Chain A
Amino acid sequence: MALQMTKHAMPEQDAQVRAHNFDEVALGYDEETAIAEANRCLSCPNPRCVQGCPVQIDIPGFISKMKTGDFDGAIGVINESNALPAICGRVCPQENQCEMHCVLGIKGEPVAIGRLERFAADRALAAKNEVKPITYAADAKKVAIIGSGPAGLSAAGELAKMGYKVTIFEALHKAGGVLSYGIPEFRLPKEKVVKVEIDNLKKLGVEIEFNSVIGKLYTVDELMEEEGFSAVFIATGAGLPSFMHIAGENLNGVYSANEFLTRCNLMKAYKFPEYHTPLKVGKNVAVIGGGNVAMDAARTSLRLGAEHVYIVYRRSEKELPARLEEVHHAKAEGIDFKLLNNPVEILGDDNGNVEKLRCIKMELGEPDDSGRRRPVAVAGSEFNLDVDTVIVAIGQGPNPLVQSTTPDMQTNKRGNIVADEETGATSKPGVFAGGDIVTGAATVILAMGAGKKAAAAIDEYLKNK
């Protein structure tokens, strides 16, 4: 039988229907399709796909088990390298990672590695495989983790399995970091996926102290000197929202994407007034930016009842940093992409509410440092978009709370913590860091990879101490 050159399609909710609900968009393969898709894999002896995966999952290894319907075996292989596969299968930018390198991609579409990973993981979640609690030695050393995003969670899991007593300190009232407050329900279900993965960690014996802002409640030094932690892993993410510093940014109706998504996801404003946190979405919304965060804010606006939602992005379609699948989904749902446009001012009415977004057209000039062609403004091309809500999604920086209270730990000029790429070691002995707080806003899987590497390095450090 000739090899099918395209991926098996993933069933999804109809675009017109899903644009008005918060249920998951992509529904996942059924068993038959999963096996058929697995059979597209050539089990390359020298698998290029693995190089593209930041945690180096044995991709042909797990897929070959799926070919025979051995899904338990498949998840076993995946779990050797990835503690949160149900999440990665959903949110990894596969087209830039594993799938980009797959040989099938040369002539046709690559194997749908992410979808297969998701299938195996979802099946295991549904089976509720028992997690065996760990029996800790009486003199087990204590490790503190700051932040419960993917970096913190993966480090916690690894360290617990090594026999360390792990406490995660989390500033918010819920665990998961961006997985809980940032990425919306329709892309990453909270109860079904995120909570289950976190509960499994708790079953291992990992403790999570919520409402604990490190830098305020305890400093890193206090954790080590007074609270009895032998090592600390800092995984506080890139939580500080950037604004554009243009006129009108303080008007009512202007949100950072963080505020908008936090109100909706963490505080469940989409269930207002049953949940009490309000969120105002007007009729016409402009989201500024072109990454995953912008797509999420735009699609969330639509689901909250906006009639017309624009994405305003200063470069062209090719440069959109969002996952390909999210761009496709957003378009299908009716998001209006205003590409090669840059906002210059937000105009308000007499009551301080947003009325218009003034933009200027852009064209692509010479390549810049990042190798992408630099957008340049077209003189005299300003125009106004009639909008009542503006959501700024142009990036996030590092929150300085921990760094500013840990003066002997080195940071770079952007405020990120300086840490060894392989070990996460910072300039302060016993203190490690990883994820977005070190790299700047990146991806879930890179943050998890950093957590895993740091766990190994912390083990090494504590054994030699």
Chain B
Amino acid sequence: MNKILKKELLSPSVWLFEIEAPRIAKKAEPGQFLIIRTNEEGERLPLTIADFNREKGSVTIVFQEVGAGTSLLAQLNEGECILDVVAPLGKKTHIEKNMGTVVCIGGGIGVAPIHPIARGMHEAGNKVISIMGAKNKDILILEDEMRAVSDEVLITTDDGSYGIKGFVTTALQQIIDRGEKINEVVAIGPVVMMRSVVEATRPYNIKTVVSLNPIMVDGTGMCGGCRVKIGDEIKFACVDGPEFDGHLVDFAGLLSRQRMYKDKEKVESDHVCNLTKIKEVL
């Protein structure tokens, strides 16, 4: 049981939870994730460790309510406990000194997991240029936090309500065009965004790391449900990743596998929705 120390609404339907988890906080590294089970009937939900505080013994998650699992989680309040938290899972991001210029790209809620990576890159003495993308100004999250760990921040919005009008790739192209030597790109966000980033860097042969989020069950390499095709090989994202060389990822396969339970999810969220309504009536 892990207590929720802080609950904050970052933007409509996007929550930040700080969770008491001393054993995990001691070990967590940028790039890793955890799996949460909210209640006995709940699914195992994979979420990135968006931050960790070793002294305080806490970890932070930022998640979007998209279906039954995440909305059940969002119903928990400060001071309440999460049934199970297992972590740290997956490999940590490769961060070292003298990597040169690193462009960290976070799209939508992907800004949350990119933040500790940008911070790690920055602390290691690399030049960090961050790109944050959102549909519009109102749903942009963690801007101050990103500015604090970046040498330069570019913001894009789909509707032009803030920063550059366009997608994260619009900003990335600007950086490439101005002649900046980019040594590595790390991109986290919706699959279609990561795919566009990879296609943008491919012609320039810029190393591009992406963090994949296939559907998972155990997160320990036991079920194989999270398998993704990387080049000619089948990898398990939970143990071999979640970060991979973007230029080798089969994005079409990933997108298709993520849709596996679309119809079942509807049944599930109707069920959870009814339960919530019953609770409200009582």
> Smallest Cβ distance from B228 to chain A, in angstroms?
8
Residues from chain B with Cβ under 8 Å of A276 in the complex? 41-43, 68-69, 72, 268, 271-272
With A211-B84, A272-B264, A352-B256: A259-B225 Cβ-Cβ less than 8 Å: yes
Q: How far is the CA of A275 from the CA of B218 in the complex (A)?
A: 16
With A267-B217, A277-B43: A351-B265 Cβ-Cβ less than 8 Å: no
* A160-194 Cβ-contact flags toward B at 8 Å (1 or 0): 00000000000111000000000000000000000
- The answer to the question of B57 belonging to the interface, with a C-beta cut-off of 8 Å to chain A, is no
Q: Which of B247-273 contact A (CB under 8 A)?
A: 250, 253, 256-257, 259-261, 264-265, 267-268, 270-272
- The answer to the question of B223 belonging to the interface, with a C-beta cut-off of 8 Å to chain A, is yes
Partner-contacting stretch, out of B4-12, B85-93, B128-136, B200-208:
B85-93
Tell me which of B41, B68, B88, B272 has the highest count of chain A C-beta atoms within 10 A of its own C-beta: B41
Q: How far is the CA of A400 from the CA of B220 in the complex (A)?
A: 10
Nearest neighbor of B254 in chain A, beta-carbon distance: A250
* A238-262 Cβ-contact flags toward B at 8 Å (1 or 0): 0111010100011010011011001
DSSP class of B's interface residues: helix, strand, loop or mixed?
mixed
Q: Kindly state the interface size class of chain B when it binds its partner.
A: 35 or more
Q: How far is the CA of A260 from the CA of B117 in the complex (A)?
A: 34
Q: Evaluate contact between B221 and A399: CB separation under 8 angstroms.
A: yes
> Smallest Cβ distance from A262 to chain B, in angstroms?
5
Q: How far is the CA of A401 from the CA of B260 in the complex (A)?
A: 28
> Smallest Cβ distance from A122 to chain B, in angstroms?
26
Residues from chain A with Cβ under 8 Å of B225 in the complex? 255-256, 259
- The answer to the question of B44 belonging to the interface, with a C-beta cut-off of 8 Å to chain A, is yes
Residues from chain A with Cβ under 8 Å of B264 in the complex? 272, 278, 280
Q: Evaluate contact between B234 and A256: CB separation under 8 angstroms.
A: no
- The answer to the question of B119 belonging to the interface, with a C-beta cut-off of 8 Å to chain A, is no
Q: Evaluate contact between A262 and B41: CB separation under 8 angstroms.
A: no
* B65-79 Cβ-contact flags toward A at 8 Å (1 or 0): 000110010000000
Residues from chain B with Cβ under 8 Å of A278 in the complex? 261, 264-265, 267-268
Residues from chain B with Cβ under 8 Å of A277 in the complex? 43-44, 217
Tell me which of B23, B87, B220 has the highest count of chain A C-beta atoms within 10 A of its own C-beta: B220
- The answer to the question of B229 belonging to the interface, with a C-beta cut-off of 8 Å to chain A, is yes
With A243-B234, A250-B229, A276-B41: A216-B27 Cβ-Cβ less than 8 Å: yes
- The answer to the question of B222 belonging to the interface, with a C-beta cut-off of 8 Å to chain A, is yes
Q: Which of A191-213 contact B (CB under 8 A)?
A: 210-213
Q: How far is the CA of A278 from the CA of B256 in the complex (A)?
A: 17
* Contact for A250 among B24, B253, B261, B271, CB less than 8 A: B253
- The answer to the question of B122 belonging to the interface, with a C-beta cut-off of 8 Å to chain A, is no
Residues from chain B with Cβ under 8 Å of A400 in the complex? 221
Q: How far is the CA of A399 from the CA of B83 in the complex (A)?
A: 26
On chain A, the number of residues with a Cβ less than 8 Å from chain B's Cβ atoms is 38
- The answer to the question of B154 belonging to the interface, with a C-beta cut-off of 8 Å to chain A, is no
- The answer to the question of A407 belonging to the interface, with a C-beta cut-off of 8 Å to chain B, is no
Residues from chain B with Cβ under 8 Å of A378 in the complex? none
Nearest neighbor of A210 in chain B, beta-carbon distance: B84
- The answer to the question of B239 belonging to the interface, with a C-beta cut-off of 8 Å to chain A, is yes
> Smallest Cβ distance from B232 to chain A, in angstroms?
10
* Contact for B220 among A239, A259, A263, A267, CB less than 8 A: A239
* Contact for B218 among A172, A249, A273, CB less than 8 A: A172
> Smallest Cβ distance from B59 to chain A, in angstroms?
13
Q: Evaluate contact between A250 and B220: CB separation under 8 angstroms.
A: no
Residues from chain B with Cβ under 8 Å of A140 in the complex? none
Nearest neighbor of B270 in chain A, beta-carbon distance: A273
- The answer to the question of A217 belonging to the interface, with a C-beta cut-off of 8 Å to chain B, is yes
Q: Evaluate contact between B222 and A241: CB separation under 8 angstroms.
A: yes
- The answer to the question of B115 belonging to the interface, with a C-beta cut-off of 8 Å to chain A, is no
Nearest neighbor of B227 in chain A, beta-carbon distance: A250
Q: Evaluate contact between A275 and B41: CB separation under 8 angstroms.
A: yes
Nearest neighbor of B267 in chain A, beta-carbon distance: A273
- The answer to the question of B166 belonging to the interface, with a C-beta cut-off of 8 Å to chain A, is no
* A393-433 Cβ-contact flags toward B at 8 Å (1 or 0): 00000011100000000000000000000000000000000
Residues from chain A with Cβ under 8 Å of B261 in the complex? 278, 280
Residues from chain B with Cβ under 8 Å of A267 in the complex? 43-44, 217
With A217-B27, A274-B41: A399-B253 Cβ-Cβ less than 8 Å: no
> Smallest Cβ distance from A100 to chain B, in angstroms?
32
Residues from chain B with Cβ under 8 Å of A274 in the complex? 41, 271
Q: How far is the CA of A276 from the CA of B272 in the complex (A)?
A: 9
Residues from chain B with Cβ under 8 Å of A268 in the complex? 41
* Contact for A252 among B256, B267, B268, CB less than 8 A: B256
Residues from chain A with Cβ under 8 Å of B239 in the complex? 401
Residues from chain A with Cβ under 8 Å of B100 in the complex? none
Residues from chain B with Cβ under 8 Å of A280 in the complex? 260-261, 264
Residues from chain A with Cβ under 8 Å of B260 in the complex? 252, 280
- The answer to the question of B224 belonging to the interface, with a C-beta cut-off of 8 Å to chain A, is yes
* B38-56 Cβ-contact flags toward A at 8 Å (1 or 0): 0001111000000000000
Residues from chain A with Cβ under 8 Å of B221 in the complex? 239-240, 399-401
Q: How far is the CA of A351 from the CA of B260 in the complex (A)?
A: 10
Residues from chain B with Cβ under 8 Å of A275 in the complex? 41
Q: Evaluate contact between B223 and A211: CB separation under 8 angstroms.
A: no
- The answer to the question of B127 belonging to the interface, with a C-beta cut-off of 8 Å to chain A, is no
> Smallest Cβ distance from A175 to chain B, in angstroms?
13
Nearest neighbor of B72 in chain A, beta-carbon distance: A276
Residues from chain B with Cβ under 8 Å of A172 in the complex? 218, 220
* A341-371 Cβ-contact flags toward B at 8 Å (1 or 0): 0000000000110000000000000000000
Q: How far is the CA of A84 from the CA of B260 in the complex (A)?
A: 39
Residues from chain B with Cβ under 8 Å of A255 in the complex? 225
Residues from chain B with Cβ under 8 Å of A213 in the complex? 86, 89, 220
Q: Evaluate contact between B222 and A351: CB separation under 8 angstroms.
A: no
With A273-B268, A276-B69, A401-B239: A241-B223 Cβ-Cβ less than 8 Å: yes
Interchain residue pairs with CB less than 8 A apart (11): A212-B86, A213-B220, A217-B24, A239-B222, A252-B256, A262-B217, A263-B217, A267-B44, A273-B271, A275-B41, A352-B259
Pick the 4 closest A-B CB pairs, nearest first: A278-B264, A352-B256, A259-B223, A211-B86
Additional pairs, 20, CB under 8 Å, beyond known A217-B23, A272-B268, A399-B220: A173-B37, A210-B84, A211-B85, A211-B86, A216-B88, A217-B24, A240-B222, A243-B234, A256-B224, A258-B223, A258-B224, A267-B44, A267-B217, A273-B272, A276-B42, A276-B69, A277-B43, A278-B265, A352-B253, A401-B220
